[in-house]
Structure formats: structure tokens, C-alpha cells
């Protein structure tokens, strides 16, 4: 069937869906109705492969990897899914026939509010690679009704609003009520024995919460029709009326009545309050308990019993949030399935592995004993017993070192350390970059590494080139494919072939032309969509921008002091002072673009956002400055906005304090899209530099991890370096602040810099400033810049999540690819065809 016939078939299906779901003809349907029908038509077709993938995995009895994560950031799915099933030309043909605009349809879709930053985007990249490489896997998470929050900037102040991403129906999800899970909180444990004589606990007078599953298809990329479709199952408490406690409502306790229906309302409720802490703990246990019930149910359907459960199940704990899986699995196996205590502990250890994503203390979660005892009493008792046994095991190894035992303990001073639980009872622990993994072994978890060094490994993060290059930057993707062919799409090591074109003048000029077009697209977006609001929330203008010839300097990531957006801001103040003193000294126009959210309870991060917005206003208000520099803060930064910003970036700011960034992934996305990196020796920057080589990685700066451990007096730098002092003084002398709120906030930032400066901002500022001068010198040589950028792209092969997933599969999970069986696929396709009057044929055989 040629593309015209296939387009006619797809158009017929869309018309059928529009008239049967909305009661309109296709001509009269709104853009939203057409969008819903198009997604439904494509999703219906992918159901064939979804079913065949699941049936094949069950039929072949493959070992399955389950990813548990509190966050996912899939972004918009329509364009990406069309790319992955190689249906771009088909959909274009349909839209021409039906007189619809693709951009209008894409704008109907809202980014799924399921994550916050790198953790969620990494999890989504992992699922893309698992599906594309056809591994037997499944993801679990929570379906947040209002995401983390939608960010607005009012007069420089971050305002948090609900992220109403589910305001319209989500066309990709399927609700599976038949697989709802019952999760128990609170209650009174009743002591009992299992058949092995081990202690188990029944629970009376518990609080039951019903978790409803919603399934999202994760479609792997293929140019053929045998692509895999994996499942991301998200749990929700919102839609189950059984979770609403009517008696409490009638008694006037309105907040208590709705507590369980709102459990999955918001990602990371503010834990500065007791209620926020309680909701977070309940969310984490909800994810663990519901997912484990589902994993066990699926295993029993395939095998009939759990005798081989420890061999066939691999569960990856994506950070500490799902660490309660260990205690819950031991409880469930020993109570419900007659495992002995030892068998249950061994099974949990064999099944579970733990990825540490950060050394930040606040992310190495700890829960108060009394809070856990109140909310999940049986799991608390199991953790107590595990800790006693583990400490005794450690004493046998280190009999005269009680201080080491204290440091190893899972419970200390009334706090339960979830990272310690994960490290002690998972079979593998990995960091996400070589430096980060070394820090885990030699510092954060040194005592554990002494006890069982064989557990520790390293798997460097990556990003999927299909989303962040093929989909996000089609012009650059075509540039690459024209030179080295299309194999890089599924084998990113092939990108190394691009290096042979780096010195080619024609390639350099074409690269620069593509970059300019992407810059123009970003400028169009900013002047049209990126609002500037006053302190009352009224839109007064849109971003002030420079022309595409400017240096587009990009720092896009969540706001945290260790990520050092403040270092970037201080450099901009130094440049501003140069313009004031000698305008003619500035040869490069600089457009600084920031994006990211601050946690609702993180005051210092919010102050830095205020400072950056104040700088934008200051520069725009002065004639000389606004000709040469501009600052844009991209409000409500998300995946879709990243897809516009990243292809346009010239310079990638990866300037975290050395030793603090576990890996980073924006560094990889930006480099993959031809941005040069100015960066510290931190996280994956080190491995990226090694891959690119020092010759093509010219903008390295700052103190090393070892140097940052040495004593440091920021006051000495402040006093001795006049340009730095002048920039820091601008925070409190009225140069930047335009109101009392800004004055107070910036004075606190000033105090943090000249006082302890724990993130070594002033220590690295001079090095950063000098390196930025080198950036501008190279930028004035466009062909040399392009040559360097092409070399950077060519060296990114090892930073695909395809490579990361291969390492997890081989080193941690022990799983092999399991593509849909051709006979199973044919059977499902035939059964579908018999009952479908509007058959679509995607891809080629």
C-alpha cells in the first residue's frame, strides 16, 4: 500500500473517531477534537505492538527489569511517537488531505506534569532506550494531578500555580481499574508466626487507600513495523471514591476527609511542614506497595508461584524515594507467600538495585522513626529487625570499631536513613558518573564500600539522541544524516564519523546556518510567548532579545546553590560594569538565557531567580547595556521549552561546584546539539572532556574536588580583586535592586558570598571570568567555533542512554533483548485487522 492509500486509511479512522467521540464531522471538529482523534488513531495502531511486546515477554518467560521512580518527564508525546514509528511522512500527507496544521495540533498537547528535573527526564530517556533496544522492562510512577507546579515570575518573584496538565483528556493513557491495588496505612500490628516460625504481623484497623493504574505506551524507535512498546504504569488516588472519608467530612474535618484522594495531587509537597512530610512518605509507600503488588500479580500469572521470583525480577530503585521496596517485599513474601525470613531478605537483595543520583544531604532521605511507626508500622518493624541484623553482621567484620557501626546503622538518633537501607540490602549500588561513583565509595558510603566493595559500580548517565537530536533538532539531524547516514539514530557510536567533516568549510557554514535558524525560532518563541509580568502578575511585555548574531549563553536546570546560577549572574554584573566604563571594549553581544524552577521552600534559590530577573530589567533599562547584553528568564521551563532552547544554544553553562553534581544531562543534550561547554571538572563533564579531548574542549575552568576541600576565605578574594568586589557590592549598593524586597534579598546573597560561601562562588569567579573571555575570542572566529562544535557532537556517542541501558542490562540486571515474536505480532495484527474497518499501516516491513 503506497503512502496515499495509507493516508486515506488513517484519515478515515480519524473521521470515524471524531464523529463517534465528539458528534462532529471532521470539517467541523475543533483543533482539540482533531488532536484527540489523531492521537487515538495512532495509539490504537500501536496497541498491536504493545500487546505483542507484552505477550512475547510473557511467552518467553524473560527476566524483567522494573524501574521505580517518583519522577518522569516525557514531554509532549505526539511528535515523538510519530517519529518513533517512522510515520512523519504519513501524518503530513493526512494533514494535507484534511487541511490541518501540524503545529496547531502539537500545541494542543501539554507536557505531562510527572517530574521536576534531571531525575525525571533521565527516567524517560531510559524508557525510550529500553523500548528501542527491545529489553523486557516496565516503569512505575505516580500520576500527579497538578505536577510539581507551574512557574510564573511576578516582578522577579517565583509564583507557584497548579500545573493543570490534565485539564483536557490525556489521549495516550489507559485506565486499568481491574488492576487497582489496595495500600494500607496506619493500623495496629498483630504479632503472628508464618510456617517457618518467623515473626510476621497482621494489621487491624488500618486505613485503606485504593490506587488506580494508568498505563502509558512507551514506543521504541524503528523504521520497520516490529517496534517494541513498553508500559509506564502510573498510580493515582484521585479518581477512587473509596479514598474519600465521608465520616470525617461530615464531622467537619474536611482536610482529613480528602487526604487520601489528594495523595497523588502534587509531586514533592513542601516538606517544611509536618503535613508535607507525611504526604511525601505516604506517596513513596503508595508507589512501592502498589507496584510490588502488580509485579507479584504479573509473576504469578506467568509462573503460578514465586519459587523463581528472585531470578526473574529485577527492580531498579531510582534514587532513595522507592527504598521502602526492600521492607515491603520482605513483609509481603514472608507473610503472604510463606517465604522464610532469610529467603525473603535474600530475594529482596537479589531483586533490588539502587541508583544514587546525588550526594546532597536533603536528597539522601531520612524519616523520623515516630512518623514511620505511625504511618507504616509493619514496615517500620521490619526495618528495625534488618538494622539489628545488619549491625551485627558489620560488628563481625569490624569487632573493635563501634564508631564505624554507628556510621553504618540504618537507624540513628531517631532517624531512619533510606540511603543506608538501600545500600545495605540491594545487590548493586551505582553512581551516575565516574567522579560521582568514586565520591560514593571514598566518602558518602565509604564504610559500606569497606564492608562490601563488590556491590559498587558506575553507570554514566546519557540522553536519548532520538528525542534530543532527531526530534528536537531536525535541521541538525538532516545535516548529520546527509554526511554519515541514518544509523546513528539507533547506534550513536556512529556519530564519531562526523568528525571527518569538522574541518570542512562547507560543513562549517551549513552548521552555522542551521544554528542561526534555530536561534531565530527561539527568538520568535521568546518575543511571542515568554511573558514579563509586574509584581501584580500583569503582563507588561515579552522578553527583550538580541539578534541571532549574538552569543546565546544558556543555563537551563533547576535552581540550586551548587549549580551556581549565581556565578553566572556575578559575571554578568562584571560585564555590565565594563560596558559602563568602556562600551567600546565589548566586541561580542551576549544573550544570557536562564530557565529552571526553585523548590517552593528553597528561599535562597528564589532569591537568585529574583536577582537574574532584576539584571534583565537593569540591562534593558540602559541604552548602552541593552545593545550589548540581554537576559531572558524562560518562565516555566519544561521539556517542550528545552526542545526550543537547546538547538539554539551556542554556549552551555555547566558550572556546578566540583564534587556536587552527580552527572548532569543538560550538558549532554546541549553538546549533542552543537553548543560548546564552559564547565568545571564535575559530574559527567569530566568524561565528556575526555571523549572530546582537551583540544576541542577549550573552556574548562575552576577548582577541582581536591582543591575545594582546602580551607578557603572568600573575604580575602573579595578584598583583593577589585572587579569582583565591585560586582558583589552591586548586590547591596542600589545598583541592581529597585525595591525594598530586592534590596533585602540581595543583601542576604551578599552575606552568603563574603561569609562562608560554601559553594566556592568567589573562589571560581576570576577563573570563570577569564574563561568567558576565551569564549568570546573563539566566538569571533565563526568557522573555528563551528569546527569545535562539530567535534563536540562527534564525541557524544558514549553519552546516549542506549549505552547506559546496555550497561545496566549487562552489569546490574542481567537481562537480554526480547523483541516482539514475529508469529505473535502476526497473530495480534490479524486479530486486530479482522475487527478494524479503518486499518492503518505504519512503517515498512
How far is it, in rounded angstroms, from Cα 767 to Cα 564? 14
Q: Between the CA atoms of 439, 442, 444 and 445, what dihedral angle is there, to the nearest 10 degrees?
A: 120
Q: Which of 417, 436, 558, 641 is catalytic?
A: 558
User: Cβ distance 654 to 680 under 8 Å?
Assistant: yes
User: Cβ distance 161 to 202 under 8 Å?
Assistant: no
How far is it, in rounded angstroms, from Cα 344 to Cα 476? 52
Q: Which of 63, 420, 467, 563 is catalytic?
A: 563
**DSSP-assigned states of every residue in 98-148:** TT--HHHHHTT--------SHHHHHHHHHHHHHHHTT--EEEEEE--SS-S
Grid cell for residue 46:
500501536
Does residue 413 carry a catalytic annotation?
no
Q: Any idea what the Cα angle at residue 53 is, between residues 291 and 797, rounded to 5°?
A: 90
Q: Which of 590, 669, 763, 798 is catalytic?
A: 669
Find cell 517530574 and name the residue: 115
Closest CA to 568 of 531, 615, 530: 615
How far is it, in rounded angstroms, from Cα 582 to Cα 448? 57
| Residue 677: partners with Cβ closer than 8 Å, 6 or more residues away | 651, 652, 654, 667, 670, 671, 685, 688, 697, 699, 792
How far is it, in rounded angstroms, from Cα 96 to Cα 2? 16
Grid cell for residue 225:
513495523
Does residue 665 carry a catalytic annotation?
yes
Say if strands 415-417 and 366-368 run parallel, antiparallel, or are unpaired.
antiparallel
Q: Which of 231, 665, 680, 771 is catalytic?
A: 665
Does residue 669 carry a catalytic annotation?
yes
How far is it, in rounded angstroms, from Cα 38 to Cα 92? 12
**DSSP-assigned states of every residue in 720-770:** H-HHHHHHHHTTTSSSS--SHHHHHHHHHHHHHHHTT-TT-HHHHHHHHHH
User: Cβ distance 552 to 522 under 8 Å?
Assistant: yes
Burial label, 142 (beta-carbon count in 10 A; 0-12, 13-18, 19+):
buried
How far is it, in rounded angstroms, from Cα 41 to Cα 30? 16
Distances (CA, A) of 833 to 126, 230, 280: 32, 22, 46
Strand, helix or coil at 165?
coil
Does residue 563 carry a catalytic annotation?
yes
Q: Between the CA atoms of 231, 808, 476 and 105, what dihedral angle is there, to the nearest 10 degrees?
A: 10
How far is it, in rounded angstroms, from Cα 688 to Cα 671? 9
What sign does the dihedral 468-469-474-476 (CA atoms) show? positive
Q: Which of 76, 121, 349, 357 is catalytic?
A: 357
Strand, helix or coil at 679?
strand
637-668 per-residue burial string, b: 16 or more CB within 10 A, e: under 16: bbbbbbbbbbbbbbbbbbbbbbbbbbbbbbbb
Q: Which of 233, 280, 557, 571 is catalytic?
A: 557
User: Cβ distance 628 to 583 under 8 Å?
Assistant: yes
512-543 per-residue burial string, b: 16 or more CB within 10 A, e: under 16: bebbeebbebbbebbeeebbbbeeeeeeeeeb
User: Cβ distance 724 to 718 under 8 Å?
Assistant: yes
| Residue 260: partners with Cβ closer than 8 Å, 6 or more residues away | 207, 209, 237, 243, 244, 245
By annotation, the residues acting in catalysis are 357, 557-558, 563, 665, 669
Amino acid at each position: 500500500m503506497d503512502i496515499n492509500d495509507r493516508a486515506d486509511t488513517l484519515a478515515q479512522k480519524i473521521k470515524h473517531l471524531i464523529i463517534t467521540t465528539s458528534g462532529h464531522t471532521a470539517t467541523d471538529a475543533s483543533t482539540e477534537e482533531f488532536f484527540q482523534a489523531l492521537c487515538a488513531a495512532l495509539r490504537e495502531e500501536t496497541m498491536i505492538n504493545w500487546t505483542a511486546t507484552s505477550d512475547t515477554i510473557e511467552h518467553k518467560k524473560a527476566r524483567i527489569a522494573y524501574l521505580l521512580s517518583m519522577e518522569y518527564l516525557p514531554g509532549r508525546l505526539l511528535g515523538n511517537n510519530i517519529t518513533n514509528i517512522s510515520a512523519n511522512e504519513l501524518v503530513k500527507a493526512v494533514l494535507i488531505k484534511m487541511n490541518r496544521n501540524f503545529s496547531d495540533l502539537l500545541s494542543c498537547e501539554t507536557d505531562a506534569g510527572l517530574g521536576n528535573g534531571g531525575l525525571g527526564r533521565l527516567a524517560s530517556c531510559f524508557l525510550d532506550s529500553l523500548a528501542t533496544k527491545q529489553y523486557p522492562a516496565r516503569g512505575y510512577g505516580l500520576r500527579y494531578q497538578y505536577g510539581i507546579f507551574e512557574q510564573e515570575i511576578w516582578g522577579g518573584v517565583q509564583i507557584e500555580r497548579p500545573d493543570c496538565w490534565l485539564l483536557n483528556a490525556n489521549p495516550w493513557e489507559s485506565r486499568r481499574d481491574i488492576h487497582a491495588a489496595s495500600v494500607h496505612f496506619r493500623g495496629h500490628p498483630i504479632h503472628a508466626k508464618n510456617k517457618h516460625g518467623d515473626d510476621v504481623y497482621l494489621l487491624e484497623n488500618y486505613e485503606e487507600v485504593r490506587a488506580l493504574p494508568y498505563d502509558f505506551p512507551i514506543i521504541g524507535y524503528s523504521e520497520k513495523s516490529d517496534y517494541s512498546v513498553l508500559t509506564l504504569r502510573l498510580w493515582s488516588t484521585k479518581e477512587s471514591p473509596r479514598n474519600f472519608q465521608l465520616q470525617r467530612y461530615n464531622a467537619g474535618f474536611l482536610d482529613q476527609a480528602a487526604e487520601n484522594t489528594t495523595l497523588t495531587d502534587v509531586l514533592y509537597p513542601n516538606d517544611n511542614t509536618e503535613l508535607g512530610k507525611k504526604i511525601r512518605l505516604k506517596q513513596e509507600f503508595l508507589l512501592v506497595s502498589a507496584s510490588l503488588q502488580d509485579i507479584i500479580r504479573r509473576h504469578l500469572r506467568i509462573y503460578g508461584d514465586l519459587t523463581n521470583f528472585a531470578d526473574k525480577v529485577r527492580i531498579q530503585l531510582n534514587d532513595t524515594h522507592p527504598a521502602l521496596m526492600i521492607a515491603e517485599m520482605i513483609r509481603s513474601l514472608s507473610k503472604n507467600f510463606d517465604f522464610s525470613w532469610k529467603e525473603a531478605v535474600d530475594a529482596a537483595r537479589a531483586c533490588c538495585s539502587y541508583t544514587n543520583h546525588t550526594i546532597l544531604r536533603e536528597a539522601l532521605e531520612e524519616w523520623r522513626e515516630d512518623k514511620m511507626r505511625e504511618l507504616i508500622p509493619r514496615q517500620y518493624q521490619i526495618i528495625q529487625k534488618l538494622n539489628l541484623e545488619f549491625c551485627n553482621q558489620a560488628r563481625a567484620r569490624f569487632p573493635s570499631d563501634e564508631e564505624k557501626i554507628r556510621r553504618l546503622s540504618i537507624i540513628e538518633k531517631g532517624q531512619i536513613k533510606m540511603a543506608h537501607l538501600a545500600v545495605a540490602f540491594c545487590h548493586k549500588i551505582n553512581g551516575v558518573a565516574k567522579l560521582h561513583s568514586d565520591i560514593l565509595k571514598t566518602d558518602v558510603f565509604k564504610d559500606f564500600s569497606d564492608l562490601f566493595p563488590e556491590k559498587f559500580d558506575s553507570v554514566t548517565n546519557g540522553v536519548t539522541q532520538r528525542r534530543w537530536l532527531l526530534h528536537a533538532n531536525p535541521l541538525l539531524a538532516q545535516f548529520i544524516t546527509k554526511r554519515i547516514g541514518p544509523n546513528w539514530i539507533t547506534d550513536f557510536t556512529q556519530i564519531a564519523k562526523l568528525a571527518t567533516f569538522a574541518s570542512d568549510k562547507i560543513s562549517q557554514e551549513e552548521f552555522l546556518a542551521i544554528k542561526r535558524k534555530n536561534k531565530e525560532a527561539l527568538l520568535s518563541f521568546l518575543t511571542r510567548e515568554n511573558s514579563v509580568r509586574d509584581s501584580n502578575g500583569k503582563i507588561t511585555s515579552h522578553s527583550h532579545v538580541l539578534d541571532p548574531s549574538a552569543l546565546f549563553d544558556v543555563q537551563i536546570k533547576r535552581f540550586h546553590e551548587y549549580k551556581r546560577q549565581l556565578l553566572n549572574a556575578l559575571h554578568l554584573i562584571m560585564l555590565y560594569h565594563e560596558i559602563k566604563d568602556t562600551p567600546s571594549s565589548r566586541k561580542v553581544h551576549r544573550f544570557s538565557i536562564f530557565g529552571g524552577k526553585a523548590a517552593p521552600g528553597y528561599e535562597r534559590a528564589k532569591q537568585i531567580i529574583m536577582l537574574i530577573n532584576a539584571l534583565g530589567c537593569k540591562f534593558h533599562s540602559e541604552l548602552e547595556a541593552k545593545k550589548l547584553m540581554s537576559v531572558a528568564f524562560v518562565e516555566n521551563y519544561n521539556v517542550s521549552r528545552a526542545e526550543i532552547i537547546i538547538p539554539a544554544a551556542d554556549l552551555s553553562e555547566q558550572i556546578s561546584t566540583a564534587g556536587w553534581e552527580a552527572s548532569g544531562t543538560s550538558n549532554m543534550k546541549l553538546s549533542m546539539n552543537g553548543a560548546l561547554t564552559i564547565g568545571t571538572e564535575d559530574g559527567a563533564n569530566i568524561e565528556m572532556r575526555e571523549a572530546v579531548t582537551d583540544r576541542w574542549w577549550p573552556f574548562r575552568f575552576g577548582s577541582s574536588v581536591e582543591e575545594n576541600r582546602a580551607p578557603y576565605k572568600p573575604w580575602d578574594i573579595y578584598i583583593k580583586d577589585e572587579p569582583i568586589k565591585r560586582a558583589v557590592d552591586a548586590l547591596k549598593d542600589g545598583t541592581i535592586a529597585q525595591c525594598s524586597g530586592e534590596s533585602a534579598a540581595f543583601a542576604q546573597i551578599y552575606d552568603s558570598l563574603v561569609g562562608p560561601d560554601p559553594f566556592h562562588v568567589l573562589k571560581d569567579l576570576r577563573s570563570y571570568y577569564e574563561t568567558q573571555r576565551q569564549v568570546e575570542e573563539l566566538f569571533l572566529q565563526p568557522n573555528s567555533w563551528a569546527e569545535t562544535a562539530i567535534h563536540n557532537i562527534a564525541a557524544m556517542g558514549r553519552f546516549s542512554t542506549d549505552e547506559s541501558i546496555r550497561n545496566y542490562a549487562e552489569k546490574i540486571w542481567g537481562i537480554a533483548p526480547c523483541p516482539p515474536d514475529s508469529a505473535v505480532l502476526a497473530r495480534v495484527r490479524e486479530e486486530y485487522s479482522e475487527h478494524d474497518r479503518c486499518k492503518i499501516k505504519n512503517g515498512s516491513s
